[in-house]
A and B are shown apart, each in its own frame.
Chain A
């Protein structure tokens, strides 16, 4: 029996998790080095015992039960949600499409004429309800155009004018 063979048994022997098999026991009786090491391991283990963990708080169970209930409630709900999701997604999509088309219809019927009024006839037209929106849109558009015409060439400006005309010509 070599001393190194005992090394890996030392943690369990020192912790009292195992008792030495006969061969090892015999060796420990005749080898001072191994016996000494085992004793040091035992002392180290005893020292490590000083690190005690505090008692669990009395609220641990209460809090865990609350979280488990939440978790339990989530599972069947996710099942229902799973069942409902396709239908819900379809209805959401329908609502979205309806919203977009409604808005588009409103824009074609209402938005563009006011823009025409703002851009081509401008001041001659009386202020209509909802023109604040068209004003903002026109302002946005003008800012876009200004930002785009940073090259500051005549052709750019002509293009911009062309755009304005196109917009007013095709409501």
Chain B
């Protein structure tokens, strides 16, 4: 008699739908109400951190830095709730992280978004921060992971080697006034060809070689730091870098 059960069960489900619909509509305002209250509480509690996070550097932090605090020490202060200490780290590493991300994303807007994400992730993990590695190692590991993922996700969307002289630079957004600032359009075309080749050849390197070159060439990081970020031995990093530059030397020969 399974069919006898059927209408009953459909009755039950009908009534369930009815109740869930009615509870939803009743609960929604309550939910948003309590969220709003919590937000208020949160923003009151955070007012002083929020002010400290402004452009002005905390003198206490500045003094401590002068007194020889390492980045890890500063990060421990962030962990303890000192948001102005975090602002110090942002100011210190902002430019190099943006530049690093720019050479992975090939787009300045995306680079800034990615750099923001790097700092947000660092900030989010402040409670769990342990100074087991150098702060920059940790910072660049986060940046590398984000950049590699971004590069993988957008590999097919990025127009490499595209040179359109009439349009603003797709990467920097800057307009290109060829006739104005260069002695010759021809020279400018050659310069752009070189630049496109550099980007394309670096981009074409195997992932770890590319990361190593970006850190070594453009971030002036030494073997040991790069090795730590990439979780490789120093000697493996040395040979990785040699192979990468050797490839670049060969492939860019016509431009040097």
Contacts and interface: CB of A to CB of B under 8 A. Distances in A.
Interface of A: 7-12, 14-15, 17, 40-41, 43-48, 50-51, 53-54, 56-57, 60-61, 63-65, 67-69, 71-74, 76-77, 80-81, 84, 88, 92, 95-96, 99-100, 102-104, 107, 137, 140-141, 144-145, 148, 159-160, 162-163, 166-167
B49 A50 contact: no
Nearest to A81: B38
A99 B22 contact: yes
Contacts of A80: 38, 41-42
Interface in B74-129: 83, 86, 90, 94-95, 98-99, 102-103, 108, 111-112, 115-116, 119-120, 123-124
B249 A163 contact: no
Contact of A76 (B6, B26, B42, B171): B42
A102 B20 CA distance: 12
B172 A54 contact: yes
Given A11-B245, A53-B102, A56-B94, A95 B27 contact: yes
B220 A17 contact: yes
Contact of A69 (B16, B50, B194, B252): B50
Interface residues of B, number: 75
A11 B53 contact: no
Interface of B: 1, 3-4, 6-7, 10-11, 14-16, 18-20, 22-23, 26-27, 34, 38-39, 41-43, 45-46, 49-50, 53-55, 83, 86, 90, 94-95, 98-99, 102-103, 108, 111-112, 115-116, 119-120, 123-124, 171-174, 191, 194-195, 198-199, 202, 216-218, 220, 222-223, 235, 238-239, 241-242, 245, 248-249, 252, 255-256
Given A73-B46, A163-B7, 10 more contacts: A7-B239, A44-B249, A47-B252, A53-B102, A54-B171, A64-B94, A96-B19, A144-B7, A159-B1, A163-B6
Contacts of A17: 216, 220, 222
6 interchain residue pairs of minimum CB distance: A8-B238, A53-B99, A43-B256, A77-B42, A54-B172, A99-B19
Contacts of A46: 256
Contacts of B42: 73-74, 76-77, 80
A14 B242 CA distance: 11
Contacts of A56: 94-95, 98, 112
A53 B10 CA distance: 65
Contacts of B53: 65, 68-69, 72
Given A60-B112, A72-B49, A48 B198 contact: yes
Contacts of B98: 53, 56, 60
A100 B46 contact: no
B112 A84 contact: no
Contact of A67 (B1, B120, B220): B120
A41 B14 contact: no
Contacts of B27: 92, 95
Contacts of B218: 48, 51, 53
A30 B199 CA distance: 35
B232 to A, nearest CB: 13
B217 A7 contact: no
A103 B15 contact: yes
B103 A51 contact: yes
7 contacts: A17-B216, A44-B245, A50-B195, A50-B198, A73-B42, A76-B42, A77-B42
A76 B41 contact: yes
Contacts of A162: 4
Nearest to A62: B55
A159 B120 CA distance: 64
Nearest to A57: B112
B124 to A, nearest CB: 6
B178 to A, nearest CB: 17
